[in-house]
A = this chain, B = another copy of it.
Amino acid sequence: MKELKDRIRRDGIIKSGNVLKVDSFLNHQMDIRLFEAIGQEFKQRFSDVEVNKILTIEASGIGIACVVARSFDVPVVFAKKTQTKNIAGEVYTTKVESFTHGRVYDVIVSKEFLGKGDKVLLIDDFLANGKALEGLARLVEESGAQLVGAGIVIEKGFQAGGKMLRKEGIRIESLAIVESMDEATGKIVFRGED
């Protein structure tokens, strides 16, 4: 998606440790016009399948998912990160390892809001090692819903998540796949470009 790649090149900041800071438009301050364009792009890419629910994970996925949901005219459910004990039976739950925060947390979705008959599109801002997306996919599987695919805004193509999850058969559409980035020069190479 050219508009997105241009924006990443213009406003993204490469930091040490393979960090791509895009918090001026994607995950702290949020450019809603860009989110609408992202929604239309996902709708086009997933035009061949039926979607009746979007699932994302708090916190930075929520805003994108809600604007994208307009293009699909479906509700959004967000999985909650929790450290509190939940009553067994009421929620689907899985564990997700966060490399950013260096810990494992529980991710839950109420059983009321996900189940058989749901055709679920996952939406998230980033795909890197794939742990969050893998967790969401497990929740969908546990619920008996059908996983239609995953729409990702920025994939770090040099990390293992995308390859691993595609190998597992998950259809992933990433709007910008960063093949490499150089902190010293600020140069970003996207997949499909020289």
Contact = CB atoms under 8 A, between A and B. Distances in A.
Interface of A: 23-25, 28-33, 35-36, 58-59, 62-67, 69-70, 73-78, 80, 84, 101, 109-110, 112-113
Contact of A113 (B29, B35, B76): B29
A53 to B, nearest CB: 8
**5 nearest A-B pairs in the assembled complex, by CB-CB distance:** A63-B66, A58-B59, A29-B113, A62-B62, A32-B69
Q: From A75, A109, A113, name the one whose CB has the most chain B CB atoms within 10 angstroms.
A: A75
Given A23-B110, A110-B23, A30 B76 contact: yes
Contacts of A65: 63
Contacts of A109: 28
Contacts of A36: 70
Q: From A23, A24, A62, A76, name the one whose CB has the most chain B CB atoms within 10 angstroms.
A: A62
Given A66-B35, A70-B36, A76 B110 contact: no
Contacts of A25: 75
Given A66-B63, A66-B67, A75 B113 contact: no
B28 A77 contact: yes
Nearest to A30: B76
Nearest to A113: B29
A29 B63 contact: no
A66 B23 contact: no
A183 to B, nearest CB: 19
A75 B192 CA distance: 31
A101 to B, nearest CB: 8
A35 B109 CA distance: 21
Contact of A63 (B23, B28, B78, B112): B78
Contact of A29 (B28, B33, B73, B75): B75
